[in-house]
Amino acid sequence: MRQYELVDRVKAYNPHTDEALLNRAYVYAMRAHGSQKRASGAPYISHPLEVAAILTELKLDDATIVAALLHDTIEDTETTREEIDRLFGHDIGQLVDGLTKIQKLDLVSKKAAQAENLRKLLLAIADDVRVLLIKLADRLHNMRTLHFVPEGKRARISEETLEIYAPLAGRMGMQDLREELESLAFQHLMPDAYAAIRHRLDELGPKSGPLIERIENELTQKLAASGIKAQVKGRLKRAYSIWKKMERKSVSFEQLSDLFGFRVIVDSVADCYAALGIVHTTWSSVPGRFKDYISTPKQNDYHSLHTTVVGPGRQRVELQIRTREMDRLAEYGIAAHALYKDEATGQPSDGKVRESNAYAWLRRTVETLAEGENAEEFLEHTKLELFHDQVFCFTPKGRLIALPRNATPIDFAYAVHTDVGDTAVGAKVNGALVPLVSTLRNGDEVEIVRAEGQTPPSAWEAIVVTGKARAAIRRATRAAVRNQYSGLGQQIVERAFERIEKPYSEERLKIALPRLARTSIEDVFAAVGRGEMYSGDVVKAVYPDYREEQAAGAGANLAEGGWFGMKQGQGLVFKVPGAGDGAQENQSAIPIRGIGGDLPVQFAPNGGAVPGDRIVGILTPGTGITIYPIQSPALTAFDDQPERWLDVRWDIDEAHPQRFPAQLHVTVINEPGVLAQVATVIGESDGNIDAISITGKTADFREMIIDIEVWDLRHLSAIISQLKAKPVIHAVTRVNG
């Protein structure tokens, strides 16, 4: 763009433009910027000139074009506001000063007072909306040339564009500008995704051109045959809108069926509805995809009819039907309302704009700013309607947190800090306790209730909507599981050294790490806890000369976990130290509290185990410890694997009682109401039924397997006694799988 070309573009829509003013502004800006260069190496003046050229497409007044030429002078040169006022007038000086204030904002900085910065931005643009129009044009040209900027800055600028300026353009009704800003930001923020979608669209190019032309022609002819003069314009959708739909619907590119969008431009509102009727009677409409933004316009003054049909060639297409005036409003947004020149004389007027919904929103925002005591109160009251694709919430101290739509307090917690998310156990929204899975709304004040030592449940990963939260939950879950295995492995290893009466120390184990092919002691513990390595291997690595002693005359081998295998006839019998014949409990055994503790524990799948049972621990690779009652016949499957047997004991926390799983086999008389009687007995006895299945049927009897949860063995025995007392119950036995 050259100086004379800019003047010609302004004269094309405003024959009465002040050429001298435009030329004077160009010369002043060129001298002010002097030898300054852009990142591309081009003279700096090329940037304000291109910004002004973008604004000529919106047909804006002389003052706006001049302010665009001068918009960086106060910020980047020795120019002052007073000098701009003296040379070009107060109106232009005020525009340039407003832009200078915006330049100083860092809208995505985590260190900045984000609410206050956004408040300043809205104040600047609300004072004169032309400030926003210049800023958007400035940002658009910067994004078009972003590839010249150092790579480290591109992500920050693109993020700011996608989170602030693109939604702001949309809120002002400037949809085309918003789409281009989104597309350019997407290209730099997610280059791989952009390149993949762009490649697919390029592949469609040879096919889509003729198809778009065919649909345009058929639509035009159909409407003309009914006496409706229409202009039909079709195009492939932009890469960013396609990616958003893929993300929102969790579908692949191949699964998208509506890649084409068409605008049908007619002369009147009546023609809009008539055209819609013709379209719907010619092609099948897609249910749920019709929206009437003519009778109910969007808040940014957008008017149009939207529908999706299965059109020519069975191709699904989206249609937007609107008048020429509606199309102008959709393209220029709030700029289309500008009365920057007097309609009678064509001369510049006072720079005011006709009241529109978008500008009315801006005015309401300013009024709220004036009433509110601080930026946080302002944002809370207005609920930030500006950001349709985001919600903005606050910490109790007023910090602004931006989140995607449908975000939860869990997302909020992780947005504040990873440690806050990891330790979250509850949330208060606007002072009221709410579930962590609740959906947040604009303006909510969120307080996260924390508990030290808390680990985020892995199920949260399916609930949250932010990538940061998902990644953090995944990391925390893996770390918690590793810590559980590591803690279990450490106990097993330490007890293994105790049994052989050899000294154990981390220093000795550290020296033995190369023999175990591990890089850290924690790796060794975790491997033992997962069952990938046995404690005997660790003992031999630390004491290579150690050999297990054979018990004289008994033929006993010392096995894992304090178990002794004694050959007796043809079988191998196991005996638990401290678990039989009334012997006292072995305090060196691994303490078991239940599921969800510090160790990876599960109970026998058939029958479970309850406090009061004498129990056995079996080290299960990849799972941790599986707890069995000593009488469980399932233990015979591990007779030939003594290294997997662990010496375990109950360690019940009286202050925090837990229920434990058990299983009952109940035979009942076959008559109506028996199941209700069984459930009543268990419920009245404070038992909790997990599942019931019918395993056998005869004419007279039914056999049931009931999974229940009880406090301990005494509680289980009491429930069994109560069931046996019922006349309709023939037999009750505990299952020991």
User: Cβ(140)–Cβ(57) under 8 Å?
Assistant: no
Q: What is the pLDDT confidence band of residue 105, given thresholds at 50, 70 and 90?
A: low
User: Running DSSP on this structure, what letter comes out for residue 165?
Assistant: I
Identity of the amino acid at 317: V
Domain 389-465, what fold?
A: Ubiquitin-like (UB roll) (3.10.20)
Tell me the mean pLDDT in the region 677-691: 91
Token pair 């353009």 is at which residue? 169
- The answer to whether the beta carbons of residues 653 and 594 sit under 8 Å apart is no
Say what the pLDDT of residue 410 is: 94
pLDDT of residue 565: 37
Residues of the chain with CATH 3.30.70.260: 660-734
- Res 736: pLDDT: 79
pLDDT of residue 141: 94
Q: Where in the chain is the domain with CATH 1.10.3210.10?
A: 3-189
Provide, for the chain, the percentages of residues in helix, strand and coil under a 3-state DSSP scheme, each rounded to the nearest 5.
Answer: 50, 20, 35
Alpha-carbon distances of 143 from 98, 132, 152, 181, 629, rounded to whole Å? 21, 16, 15, 7, 68
Torsion, CA 325, CA 326, CA 331, CA 336, rounded to 10: 50
| Residue pLDDT, tens place only, 4-22 | 888 999 999 889 999 999 9
In this structure, what token pair is assigned to residue 285? 């409409």
The CA distance from 324 to 330, in Å, is 10
**Residues constituting the chain:** 737
With 50 as the cut, is the pLDDT of residue 351 above it?
Answer: no
pLDDT digits (tens, 9 = 90+) for 155-167: 888 988 887 788 7
Whether the Cβ atoms of residue 321 and residue 266 lie closer than 8 Å to each other: yes
Taking the C-alpha atoms of residue 85 and residue 315, their distance in angstroms, rounded to an integer, is 58
Residue type, 311: G
Query: Which of 163-177, 467-481, 516-530, 703-717 has maximum average pLDDT?
Result: 703-717
What is the per-residue pLDDT across 300-344, written as a single tens digit (0 to 9) for each? 778 899 999 887 777 788 899 999 989 888 877 777 655 444 443
pLDDT of residue 362: 59
pLDDT of 653 above 90: no
**DSSP H helical segments within 46-113, as ranges?**
46-56, 62-70, 73-76, 81-88, 90-103
Three-state DSSP state, 687: coil
Whether pTM > 0.85 for this model: the answer is no
Q: How far apart are CA 667 and CA 528, in angstroms?
A: 43
Residue span(s) of the chain under CATH 3.30.460.10 come to: 193-337
Neighbouring C-alpha atoms within 13 Å toward the C-beta of 627 = 25
pLDDT at 342: 41
155-169, 281-295, 381-395, 719-733, range with the lowest pLDDT: 381-395
**Under a CB-based contact definition with an 8 Å cutoff, are residues 266 and 253 in contact?**
no
Among the listed ranges 35-44, 322-331, 479-488, 612-621, which one has the minimum average pLDDT value?
479-488
Residue with tokens 């947005």: 415
How far CA 496 is from CA of 359, 551, 559, in Å, comes to 76, 17, 9
Amino acid at residue number 527? A
Q: Which region holds residue 207: left if phi is over 0, alpha if psi is between -120 and 50, else beta?
A: alpha
Question: Between residues 67 and 513, which one has the greater pLDDT?
Answer: 67
The H or E element containing residue 155 is helix 151-160
Compute the C-alpha angle 237/238/243, nearest 5°: 100
Q: What are the tokens at 253?
A: 């590119």
From the list 57, 76, 331, 522, the catalytic residue is 76
pLDDT given for residue 83 in this prediction: 92
CATH, domain 660-734, list 3.30.70.2860, 3.30.70.260, 3.90.1150.10, 3.60.10.10: 3.30.70.260
Rounded Cα–Cα distance for residues 25 and 2 (Å): 14
**DSSP letter string over 44-56?**
TTHHHHHHHHHHH
Residue 446 confidence (pLDDT): 93
Task: Of 625, 499, 473, give the one whose Cα is nearest residue 562.
Answer: 499
pLDDT at 570: 29
pLDDT of residue 545: 76
pLDDT score, position 104: 60
Burial (CB count within 10 angstroms: exposed 0-12, middle 13-18, buried 19+), residue 530: buried
Nearest 5°: the CA angle 330, 136, 73 is 150
Determine the pLDDT at residue 109: 52
Instruction: List the beta strands (DSSP E) in 440-579.
Output: 446-450, 557-558, 564-568, 571-575
Q: Averaged over 191-201, what is the pLDDT?
A: 88
Half-sphere exposure of 630 (CA within 13 A, CB side): 19
Rounded CA separation 299/148 (Å): 37
Q: What is the mean pLDDT of residues 722-726?
A: 89
Could you tell me where in the chain the CATH 3.10.20.30 domains are found?
A: 389-465
Q: Do 304 and 293 touch, CB atoms closer than 8 A? A: yes
Burial of 317 (0-12, 13-18, 19+ CB in 10 A): buried
Helix count and strand count (H, E) for the chain: 27, 24
**CATH of 3-189 among 1.10.357.10, 3.40.50.300, 3.80.10.10, 1.10.3210.10:** 1.10.3210.10
Is 362 strand, coil or helix?
helix
Position 146 confidence tier, pLDDT thresholds 50, 70, 90: very high
- Of 571 and 526, the structure prediction assigns the larger pLDDT to 526
Indicate if the pLDDT at residue 184 is higher than 90: yes
| Per-residue pLDDT tens digits for 36-89 | 888 888 899 999 999 999 999 888 889 999 999 999 898 888 889 999 999 999
Instruction: Just give the CATH number of 193-337.
Output: 3.30.460.10
Can you tell me the distance from the alpha carbon of 33 to that of 37, in angstroms, rounded to the nearest whole number?
A: 9
Q: Which two tokens stand for residue 226?
A: 């009914």
**Selected catalytic residue, list 8, 19, 57, 75:** 75
Q: What three-state secondary structure class fits 15?
A: coil
The pLDDT, as a whole number, for residue 651 is: 78
In the block, residue with structure tokens 């791989």: 192
Let me know if 76 is a catalytic residue. Answer: yes
Q: What does the pLDDT average to over 516-536?
A: 78
What rounded mean pLDDT belongs to the chain? 79
Query: Which residue do the tokens 């109950």 mark?
Result: 650
Strands (E) across 455-497 are located at none
Give the number of other CB atoms < 10 A from CB of residue 610.
26
111 contact partners, CB below 8 Å, separation of at least 6: none
pLDDT tens digits, one per residue of 450-463: 988 788 888 898 88
Residue 92 CA: distances (Å) to CA of 22, 267, 319, 532: 12, 38, 41, 75
